[in-house]
A = this chain, B = another copy of it.
Amino acid sequence: MLYLKNDYSLGAHPKIMEALEKTNMVHADGYGIDKFCDGAAETIKQKIGREDADIHFLMAGTQTNMTAIAAFLRPHQAVIAPETGHICVHETGAIEATGHKIIHVPTDDGKIYPEQIDEVMVFHEDEHYVQPKLLYISDSTETGNIYTGAELKALKNTCKKHGLYTYIDGARLAMALTAEGNDLTLKDLPSFADAFYIGGTKNGILMGEALIILNESFKEDFRFLLKQRGGMLAKGRLLGVQFEALMKNDLYFEMGAHANKMASLLSEGIKKAGYDFAQKPVTNLIFPIFPNELVAELEKKVMFEGWRKYKNGTSSIRLVTSWGTTENEIKEFLNMI
């Protein structure tokens, strides 16, 4: 069975496993207070060019989103997000479970634009409405798309105008930063966000996300909130060890680039075979449109997820490549279509 369902179907990159093995029998203090986490945090601070950042390591993406957002907002404050955002649809209401409304904004391409934020702000006029206070975006998006520097800058300016915080879900930031057409680096991100996270789970480590807090007012007591939401790992060192191995020598970018490259081979092949896409292929999530019969055939040999069904007998599906996808696997898939 060919596996193109997601980017977390394997364990970790061998270099990550090696780092875990090597440090396995070293005693370390618990809950993220150890030299491995310190080292990883230091490396990240250098990579983003912000020594003043607070770095916290969490185990998973939903956990990171809900812990961060609930920590940053007061109870009456709401999140604005494009309706395809992970927090909108794929987190079983985790944000709302902490008490905060998400205001869904319609999107075709997975992105949100400044004028949509303006509209939300006009509508929410007084204390009978929730108070929109934080913009949530993902880069790359859940539709495989990326933001340009100019787009992020415009969003940040709009947020500033309205007194909104900006938070970037970087579950697949590695793929965004290594995509064709990308004009951003890790060092650019801090100027566009009050907080963001560098995703590890979907880019080759066993588990873990590095939350980067830039806004001074978010820093106080964050570890209390981390613990309270269940996001503090007893053997926190595991996250430190992995992120250190991930970030140094740029394994992080290498894996992101590889996933993109495999996706690119895949989408080129699909294009050549005469098929179109529901979303423009940009990063490691691609959404080809196939006749339903072909989809049915593929289901027998490939693991993937459906996307949309159309009335003309076709459907789009979601194909995902990762650091572990091989050229042979791509060829194998292209041979099927």
Interface residues of A (CB under 8 A from B): 1, 3, 5-6, 8-12, 14, 17, 20-21, 23-31, 59-63, 66-67, 70-71, 74-76, 78, 89-94, 96-102, 104, 127-131, 201-202, 206-207, 221, 223-235, 237-238, 303, 324
| Copies of this chain in its oligomeric complex | 4
A-B contact pairs, 22 of them (CB 8 A): A3-B27, A10-B24, A11-B20, A11-B24, A11-B237, A31-B128, A59-B60, A60-B230, A62-B227, A62-B232, A70-B75, A71-B75, A76-B227, A93-B228, A94-B227, A94-B229, A96-B130, A97-B99, A206-B206, A206-B238, A207-B234, A229-B230
Give the complex CA separation of A25 and B14 in angstroms: 9
Cβ-defined contact, B9 with A228, below 8 A: no
A60 touches B129 (CB 8 A): no
Q: How far is the CA of A145 from the CA of B128 in the complex (A)?
A: 22
Inter-chain contact A128/B235, CB cutoff 8 Å:
no
**Distance in Å from the Cβ of A207 to the closest Cβ of chain B?**
6
Given contacts A29-B5, A30-B6, A223-B127, contact A76 B63 (CB under 8 A): no
Chain B residues with Cβ under 8 A from A75's Cβ?
Answer: 70-71, 97-98, 225, 228
A169 to chain B, nearest CB (A): 14
Query: For A60, A96, A129, A130, which residue has the most chain B Cβ atoms within 10 angstroms?
Result: A96
Which 7 pairs between the two chains have the least Cβ-Cβ distance?
A: A63-B230, A11-B24, A76-B224, A93-B130, A3-B27, A92-B228, A93-B101
Bound Cα distance A157, B223 (Å):
28
Which of B30, B129, B207 meets A9, CB within 8 Å? B30
> CB-CB < 8 A to A100: which residues of B?
93, 96
